[in-house]
């Protein structure tokens, strides 16, 4: 049976050392509380850190045994690993960078090494648990390298990755010295999920600009596989929170709190201690509310839960001091014997007590500076059985994309925040009910189970998409068979693309000249009388002539427009017109002037706009624009627009590498065909070949009509050499 192996830094249960020995408690934090409801189904296992430094083997064995009974497998981390990997690289480098607090980020090579080593440790732990049919679901920024590590160990595995925090703009990612390693690590997954479309867009942009891999509708084609990227806003276990809020235990808590607070109205704030949560700004806004609206003094209290978190990281310790001081200042200024402005708790609470807080609070204040999602906002909504209550929500929490019926605020605007609190306190009940009803319907429907199902369905889709047009690697056995067929044949046809197949790409196409090795190789192939070697390229005939014209090669140039046999003149595939170029060229010139680094190549019967040297994102976007512009112009004409590798080409329709290659096959009658290419335009050649032809796509494992793939230019040359 196939199971899901969930992997995250922190397990949903933490082990604690107390005077009575080891005890186990639920972990705080959205990842653990959110996924806690789903992992036990179907024999699934959760691999992660149990939050404790074990002292010896016996203790480790005890913790392992206890957690195994609840489907968890612990990864034990040493104090040094927690310092460098967790507090260091994860929470001192990645967390601030990804939350737009780049000024707090540290860049430390030792911490990076620890991060790599701990990701490797997790990799070993997962491989111990995962069978070949299991699905592996990796979570969050602490484990960005893990998908690729798992991929190396298990090339066929089904791997999903979900990021729980924001993915920031490329401008922040590019600052990280380890940016490409991190992106490559994530791309080991088959499906990469984010909470919002905005985060997903930033990721795709970083992958395009830093790795040069564009995407189509979130599908990235890496040299080895295709990877799907999508947005999945995480939900909560709605029923669990609704039931907890309606429970007798919560009832009792509410009664107890009410007795203490009397008639005072409650604004609630619950977070882990974190500078991303906007806790200090929130306190200042509450202070401003009391200053601007004295009528609320004695009437309203802020009930503020701050859950201890990462307090070994300097900025977290500093924030704790700042919050303590602010609370002290506000309370000292405004408190009376009967009334406390801020009820401040620096500890965590069990679910029933939290449920009591959610139920009792008339206003919830969720005002992070940045937050991947923020589940507290959704838990508050789920807890309001009578639909009374107002949610004030930061525009920069992922949850704001969905909970648009909240009072949406900018958390740095203290004045706006104070006004929102006032507005919430005076909001008519029918308005509250209308807003809360809408939000509840959403939180109920898109709960954590729906979220998981959606992610898993998309993962299955990503996997099946990879299977379509999948090519097999040219194995040694297949190579032997190819060589045998070649040697047995009397009339061999070799159709060889040039750029990316025989010669590596160059930023300046005119520099991709054949080297000595290639010239000798082609010479040797053409020396064999049973061979007919055709260079089949999109390049103009003059360049091919200049570079390779001295060899007894056949040429198919300009994607099938021009043909030449050894020692003969160039001939046109068919009569063509080129007078259209005068209308199209000004359009391409416009795109050149709008896109720095792009340029036009003019061939006899086609025009090409190149953007290899332009900014990757701008180039891709302009290419889409130009394609639709030219397609419009080409409608009702004999012209055709083609997108290739960083090029857009316009030329006469119906002529391509495939039509030209098919004619060569039809006139030459080969009994062995080898066609090799790397580009989209080579797919036309592959399509035109008979089924027994050897068609080879260049690339590590790309999707193609070709039967096989080979890794790169080196592998192509190696194979051709073996034929000699």
Ligand X SMILES: O=P(O)(O)OC[C@H]1O[C@H](O[C@H]2O[C@H](CO)[C@@H](O)[C@H](O)[C@H]2O)[C@H](O)[C@@H](O)[C@@H]1O
| Contact residues for ligand UDP, defined by CB under 6 A | 28-31, 33, 270, 272, 305, 307, 348-349, 354, 373-376, 379
**Can you tell me which of 34, 50, 233, 341 binds ligand X, judged by CB under 6 A?**
34
Helices (H) and strands (E) in the chain, counts: 26, 30
Of the ranges 25-33, 312-320, 343-351, 540-548, which one interacts with ligand X (CB under 6 A)? Answer: 25-33
Q: How far is the CB of 71 from ligand UDP (least distance, A)?
A: 20
| 307 versus 456: smaller Cβ distance to ligand UDP | 307
Which residue's Cβ has the minimum distance to ligand UDP?
Answer: 30
DSSP helix/strand/coil, 113: helix
Residue with tokens 């195994």: 68
Q: How far is the CB of 172 from ligand X (least distance, A)?
A: 16
Q: Does 607 bind ligand X (CB under 6 A)?
A: no
Q: What are 243's two structure tokens?
A: 């039931």
Closest CA to 355 of 390, 334, 379: 379
Q: Does 234 bind ligand X (CB under 6 A)?
A: yes
Q: Does 374 bind ligand X (CB under 6 A)?
A: yes
Q: How far is the CB of 515 from ligand X (least distance, A)?
A: 50
Q: How far is the CB of 209 from ligand X (least distance, A)?
A: 25
Q: Does 383 bind ligand X (CB under 6 A)?
A: no
d(CA 213, CA 626): 20
Q: How far is the CB of 69 from ligand X (least distance, A)?
A: 23
Does the CA dihedral 50-56-59-65 come out positive or negative?
A: positive
| Half-sphere exposure of residue 33: CA atoms within 13 angstroms, side-chain side | 21
d(CA 516, CA 89): 47
Residue 354's binding partner among ligand X, ligand UDP, none (Cβ under 5 to 8 angstroms by kind) is: ligand UDP
Give the Å distances, CA to CA, from 637 to 185, 285, 377, 533. Answer: 47, 65, 57, 34
| 157 versus 266: smaller Cβ distance to ligand UDP | 266
| 9 versus 501: smaller Cβ distance to ligand UDP | 9
Residue 376's binding partner among ligand X, ligand UDP, none (Cβ under 5 to 8 angstroms by kind) is: ligand UDP
- Interface with ligand X in residues 499-528 (CB under 6 A): none
Q: How many residues bind ligand X (CB under 6 A)?
A: 19
Beta strand spans in 330-385 (E): 342-345, 363-366
Residue 307's binding partner among ligand X, ligand UDP, none (Cβ under 5 to 8 angstroms by kind) is: ligand UDP
Q: What are 204's two structure tokens?
A: 């795709």
Is residue 189 within 8 A of residue 222, CB to CB? The reply is no
| 34 versus 514: smaller Cβ distance to ligand X | 34
- For 312, list phi and psi in degrees, rounded to 5: -85, -10
Q: Which DSSP string do the residues of 189-204 spell out, in sequence order?
A: SSEEEESSHHHHHHHH
Give 220's DSSP letter: E
* Residues forming a β-bridge with 230: 193
Site string for ligand X, 249-288 (x = CB under 6 A): -----------------------x----------------
Residue 4's binding partner among ligand X, ligand UDP, none (Cβ under 5 to 8 angstroms by kind) is: none
Closest CA to 137 of 265, 48, 7, 12: 7
**Can you tell me which of 81, 134, 230, 371 binds ligand X, judged by CB under 6 A?**
371
CA–CA–CA angle 275, 96, 311 (5° rounding): 50
Q: How far is the CB of 30 from ligand UDP (least distance, A)?
A: 2
d(CA 384, CA 256): 19
| 309 versus 440: smaller Cβ distance to ligand X | 309
- For 202, list phi and psi in degrees, rounded to 5: -65, -40
**Can you tell me which of 12, 160, 185, 372 binds ligand X, judged by CB under 6 A?**
372
- Please list the active-site residues: 497
Residue 537's binding partner among ligand UDP, ligand X, none (Cβ under 5 to 8 angstroms by kind) is: none
**Can you tell me which of 140, 148, 287, 649 binds ligand X, judged by CB under 6 A?**
140
Is residue 555 within 8 A of residue 542, CB to CB? The reply is no
Give the Å distances, CA to CA, from 212 to 189, 280, 686. Answer: 18, 41, 26
| Half-sphere exposure of residue 467: CA atoms within 13 angstroms, side-chain side | 8
| 49 versus 286: smaller Cβ distance to ligand X | 49
| 9 versus 301: smaller Cβ distance to ligand X | 9
Residue 269's binding partner among ligand UDP, ligand X, none (Cβ under 5 to 8 angstroms by kind) is: none
Q: How far is the CB of 107 from ligand X (least distance, A)?
A: 20
- Interface with ligand X in residues 311-370 (CB under 6 A): none
Q: How far is the CB of 2 from ligand X (least distance, A)?
A: 25
Torsion of CA 534, 538, 540, 543, to 10 degrees: -60
Residue 310's binding partner among ligand X, ligand UDP, none (Cβ under 5 to 8 angstroms by kind) is: ligand X
Q: Does 393 bind ligand X (CB under 6 A)?
A: no
**Can you tell me which of 6, 11, 13, 30 binds ligand X, judged by CB under 6 A?**
30
| Half-sphere exposure of residue 196: CA atoms within 13 angstroms, side-chain side | 21
Q: How far is the CB of 198 from ligand X (least distance, A)?
A: 14
- Interface with ligand X in residues 159-188 (CB under 6 A): 164-165
Q: Which residues contact 410 (CB under 8 A, 6 or more apart)?
A: 394, 395, 396, 416
Q: How far is the CB of 120 from ligand UDP (least distance, A)?
A: 26
| 242 versus 495: smaller Cβ distance to ligand UDP | 242
| 196 versus 543: smaller Cβ distance to ligand X | 196
Residue 10's binding partner among ligand X, ligand UDP, none (Cβ under 5 to 8 angstroms by kind) is: ligand X
Q: What are 533's two structure tokens?
A: 């070697």
Site string for ligand X, 296-315 (x = CB under 6 A): -------------xx-----
Q: What are 228's two structure tokens?
A: 């799907």
DSSP helix/strand/coil, 18: strand
Does the CA dihedral 372-376-382-385 come out positive or negative?
A: negative
Residue 270's binding partner among ligand X, ligand UDP, none (Cβ under 5 to 8 angstroms by kind) is: ligand UDP
| Helix ranges (DSSP H) in 446-489 | 448-467, 476-488
What is the three-state SS of 118-184? Answer: HHHHHHHHHHHHCCCCCEEEEECHHHCCHHHHHHHHCCCCEEEEECCCCCCCHHHHCCCCCHHHHHH
| 184 versus 444: smaller Cβ distance to ligand UDP | 444
Contacting positions for ligand X (CB under 6 A) = 9-10, 29-32, 34, 140, 164-165, 234, 272, 309-310, 371-375
């Amino acid at each position: 049976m196939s199971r899901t192996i969930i992997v995250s830094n922190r397990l949903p249960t933490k082990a604690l050392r107390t005077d009575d020995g080891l005890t186990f408690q639920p972990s705080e934090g959205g990842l653990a509380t959110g996924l806690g409801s789903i992992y036990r189904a179907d024999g699934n296992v959760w691999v992660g850190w149990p939050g404790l430094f074990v002292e010896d083997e016996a203790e480790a064995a005890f913790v392992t045994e206890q957690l195994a009974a609840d489907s968890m497998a612990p990864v034990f981390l040493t104090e040094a690993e927690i310092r460098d990997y967790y507090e260091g690289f994860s929470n001192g480098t990645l967390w601030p960078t990804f939350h737009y607090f780049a000024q707090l980020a540290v860049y430390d090579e030792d911490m990076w090494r620890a991060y790599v080593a701990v990701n490797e440790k997790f990799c070993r732990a997962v491989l111990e648990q995962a069978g070949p049919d299991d699905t592996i679901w990796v979570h969050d920024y602490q484990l960005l390298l893990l998908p690729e590590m798992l991929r190396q160990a298990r090339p066929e595995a089904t791997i999903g990755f979900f990021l729980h925090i924001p993915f920031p703009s490329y401008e922040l990612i590019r600052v990280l010295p380890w940016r490409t390693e991190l992106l490559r690590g994530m791309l080991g997954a088959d499906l990469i999920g984010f909470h919002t479309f905005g985060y997903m867009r930033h990721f795709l942009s970083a992958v395009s600009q830093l790795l040069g891999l564009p995407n189509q509708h979130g599908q990235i084609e890496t040299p080895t596989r295709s990877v799907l990227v999508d947005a999945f806003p995480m939900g909560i276990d709605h029923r669990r929170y609704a039931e907890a809020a309606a429970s007798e235990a919560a009832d009792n808590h509410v009664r107890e709190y009410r007795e203490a607070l009397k008639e005072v109205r409650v604004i609630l704030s619950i977070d882990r201690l974190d500078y991303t949560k906007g806790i200090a700004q929130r306190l200042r806004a509450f202070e401003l509310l009391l200053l601007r609206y004295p009528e609320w003094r004695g009437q309203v209290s802020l009930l503020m839960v701050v859950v201890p978190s990462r307090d070994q990281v300097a900025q977290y310790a500093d924030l704790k001091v700042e919050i303590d001081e602010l609370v002290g200042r506000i309370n000292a200024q405004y408190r009376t014997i009967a009334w406390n402005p801020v009820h401040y708790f620096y500890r965590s609470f069990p679910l029933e007590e939290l449920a009591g807080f959610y139920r009792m609070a008339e206003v919830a204040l969720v005002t992070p500076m940045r937050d991947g999602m923020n589940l507290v906002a959704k838990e508050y909504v789920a807890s309001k059985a009578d639909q009374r209550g107002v949610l004030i929500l930061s525009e920069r929490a992922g949850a704001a994309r969905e909970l648009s019926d909240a009072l949406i605020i900018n958390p740095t605007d203290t004045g706006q925040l104070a006004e929102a609190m006032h507005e919430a306190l005076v909001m008519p009940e029918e308005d509250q009910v209308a807003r809360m009803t809408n939000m509840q319907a959403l939180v109920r429907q898109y709960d954590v189970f729906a979220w998981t199902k959606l992610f898993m369905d998309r993962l299955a889709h990503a996997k099946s998409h990879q299977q379509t047009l999948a090519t097999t690697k040219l194995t040694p056995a297949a190579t032997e068979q190819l060589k045998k067929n070649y040697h047995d044949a009397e009339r061999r046809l070799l159709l060889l693309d040039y750029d990316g197949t025989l010669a590596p790409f160059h930023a300046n196409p005119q520099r991709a000249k054949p080297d000595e090795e290639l010239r000798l190789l082609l010479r040797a192939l053409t020396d064999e009388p049973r061979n007919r070697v055709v260079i089949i390229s999109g390049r103009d005939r003059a360049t091919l002539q200049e570079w390779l014209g001295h060899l007894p090669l056949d040429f198919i140039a300009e994607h099938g427009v021009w043909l030449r046999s050894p020692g003969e003149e160039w001939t046109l595939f068919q009569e063509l017109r080129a007078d259209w170029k005068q209308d199209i060229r000004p359009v391409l010139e416009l795109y050149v002037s709008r896109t720095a680094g792009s340029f036009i190549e003019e061939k006899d019967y086609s025009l090409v706009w190149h953007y290899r040297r332009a900014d990757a994102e701008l180039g891709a976007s302009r290419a889409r624009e130009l394609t639709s512009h030219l397609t419009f112009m080409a409608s009702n004409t004999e012209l055709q627009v083609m997108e290739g590798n960083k090029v857009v080409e316009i030329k006469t329709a119906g002529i391509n590498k495939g039509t030209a290659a098919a004619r060569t096959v039809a006139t030459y009658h080969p009994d062995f065909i080898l066609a090799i290419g790397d580009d989209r335009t080579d797919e036309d050649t592959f399509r035109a070949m008979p089924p027994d032809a050897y068609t080879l796509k260049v690339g590590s494992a790309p999707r193609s009509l070709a039967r096989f793939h080979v890794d790169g230019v080196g592998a192509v040359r190696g194979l051709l050499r073996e034929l000699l």
